Amino acid sequence: MHPQPIPQQALNPAITRTAVTVAYGDGIGPEIMAATLRILDAAGAAITPETIDIGEKVYLAGNTAGIDREAWESLRRTRVFLKAPITTPQGGGYKSLNVTTRKALGLYANVRPCVAYMPFVESRHPGMNLVIVRENEEDLYAGIEHRQTEDVYQCLKLITRPGCEKIVTYAFEYARRHGRKKVSCFVKDNIMKMTDGLFHRIFKEIGQRYPDIEQDSWIVDIGAARLADSPEMFDVIVTPNLYGDILSDVAAQIAGSVGMAGSANMGDHCAMFEAIHGSAPDLAGQDVANPSGLLNGAIQMLLHIRQPDVAARIENAWLRTLEEGIHTRDIYQEGRSRKCVGTREFADAVIARLGQQPEQLRPVVYTQQPVLPAFRPAARVPARKTLVGVDLFLNWAPGEPGVLGGRLAKREEGGMRLELITNRGVKVWPNGLPETYCVDHWRCRFRSSSGAPLTQQSVIELLQAVVTEGFEVIKTENLYLFDGQPGFSGAHG
């Protein structure tokens, strides 16, 4: 055993303490939070917890966001949030508090380490040790959805250049600071050439500043298959929001430790730390829940608030506890484990081992890291933007594309002519295939007939004419060239 030095904070109570907003949450939340805070306190973490109420109680009191004004004030004051899981009441109308908090506080990076602790905790992938850095604010989670026709619903996928620059830079910086060797980008840019294409392009652009870090890119479907099959080949994965959401649960599960993974939600001004699991109402009040997920979130918090010695002291004691086979029910295995303990006894076991190091698992060593500077978008010369056409989306009862094409192609309003019609992205006019199934949602692309640039006024003239003809226009999308390059996708077929 190699006892670690007692942290400065424990020796000197006058040392500056960091205020942390703490929410005990619902279900098993209060038990695992009490266990976590007890371990932090015993390890000498210099924090001052400020407790707020969030979750079920607040939702059921009629606040559909699950968080009230005083809680926001605390979060904006401390800028550090240690959060236990909450229960979202069933039924419509309640907003996800996680999504609200991430967006409102600009927590753009969701960081989830997924590690196997073989041979002490069962895992199919003993060598697995990777981190998923998921973009947390954009993509399909912008929450902009519309029902446009009887049959068609739409969700907008928004990917921005600053959003990609922030998350990709964060992933490379994370890799460098944590001694990780490789960053892999997961996207679907063979299909979403503009949105995922931008993410991928920025990954390659920013990657050039990190020649010390190996880099590769994966189409998300085959990347996910390889992740599930051979996770040892990945180190840090950076990916847009939806893929990251799904993949990080898969990764935590196959590490064998969904109850043990913690996560950090990082922004330029605030950060939130939590377990990845939910409030497990089935276990509430029984003193059986594993507090390790929240404890691992709290360890990431200690690194964030620049108490790396305390973080390492706790993590090493925790690893030693796992090694000694002192396990909560969820990871207890006859033959592998030595003693099945409850939440409180597990915390006691970690506290009793503070100062010890694991003997077989690799001990962690954390050092003070310089603060990552707040993101500033790179100065750019804006592209020259030229309006060259418009897509009109019509709600038109499913019918013969030729009839629609015939009616619209007659016109030349606003200096534009009909170029093509698609239905669910497939070209159906001119020269569509009779086999293509059509719904009541038609994208009609009009382009400048002379090739000359258009004005907003031309779009209004076209719109006016089409509406006067009796069509229902549900949406328009302007077609721009940016420095001569199309800012819109072509059609299939």
Q: What residues make contact with ligand NAD under the rule CB under 6 A?
A: 28, 32, 85-88, 98, 259, 274, 277-283, 289-290, 293, 330
Three-state SS for 247-300 is: HHHHHHHHCCCCCCCEEEEECCCCEEEEECCCCCHHHCCCCCCCCHHHHHHHHH
- Whose Cβ is closer to ligand NAD: residue 88's or residue 300's? 88
- Whose Cβ is closer to ligand NAD: residue 290's or residue 458's? 290
How near is the Cβ of 115 to ligand NAD at its closest, in Å?
16
How near is the Cβ of 331 to ligand NAD at its closest, in Å?
8
Cα 112 to Cα 132, 133, 360, 370, distances in angstroms: 5, 7, 23, 21
How near is the Cβ of 119 to ligand NAD at its closest, in Å?
21
How near is the Cβ of 42 to ligand NAD at its closest, in Å?
20
Q: How far is CA 101 from the centre of its chain?
A: 12
How near is the Cβ of 369 to ligand NAD at its closest, in Å?
26
Contact predicate 491/432, CB 8 Å:
no
Q: How far apart are CA 69 and CA 104, in angstroms?
A: 13
Q: Which of 306, 275, 270, 274 is nearest to 46 (CA)?
A: 306
The residue to which tokens 């006894």 are assigned: 345
Q: How far apart are CA 434 and CA 276, in angstroms?
A: 49
- Whose Cβ is closer to ligand NAD: residue 277's or residue 427's? 277
- Whose Cβ is closer to ligand NAD: residue 150's or residue 282's? 282
- Whose Cβ is closer to ligand NAD: residue 259's or residue 414's? 259
Report strand pairing: 129-135 vs 236-239. Answer: parallel
- Whose Cβ is closer to ligand NAD: residue 67's or residue 462's? 67
- Whose Cβ is closer to ligand NAD: residue 58's or residue 164's? 58
How near is the Cβ of 120 to ligand NAD at its closest, in Å?
16
* Size of the chain in residues: 493
Structure tokens at 400: 């013969």
Q: How far apart are CA 49 and CA 22, in angstroms?
A: 6
- Whose Cβ is closer to ligand NAD: residue 290's or residue 337's? 290
- Whose Cβ is closer to ligand NAD: residue 22's or residue 454's? 22
| CB-based burial label for 1 (10 Å; 0-12, 13-18, 19+) | exposed
E strands along 401-491, which residues?
416-423, 426-429, 441-448, 472-482, 485-486
Segment (H or E) for 196: helix 195-207
- Whose Cβ is closer to ligand NAD: residue 280's or residue 394's? 280
Collapse the DSSP code of 351 into the 3-class scheme (helix H, G, I; strand E, B; otherwise coil) and give the result.
Answer: helix
Whether the upstream peptide bond of residue 430 has omega within 30° of 0, thus cis, is yes
Collapse the DSSP code of 381 into the 3-class scheme (helix H, G, I; strand E, B; otherwise coil) and give the result.
Answer: coil
Report strand pairing: 214-219 vs 385-395. Answer: unpaired
Cα 61 to Cα 52, 83, 89, 153, 425, distances in angstroms: 15, 20, 12, 32, 45
DSSP string, 26-76: STTHHHHHHHHHHHHHHHT--EEEEEE-BSHHHHHTT-TTSB-HHHHHHHH
Q: Which residue is nearest to ligand NAD (CB)?
A: 278
DSSP code, position 492: B
Q: How far apart are CA 126 and CA 237, in angstroms?
A: 19
- Whose Cβ is closer to ligand NAD: residue 103's or residue 177's? 103
- Whose Cβ is closer to ligand NAD: residue 282's or residue 483's? 282
How near is the Cβ of 85 to ligand NAD at its closest, in Å?
4
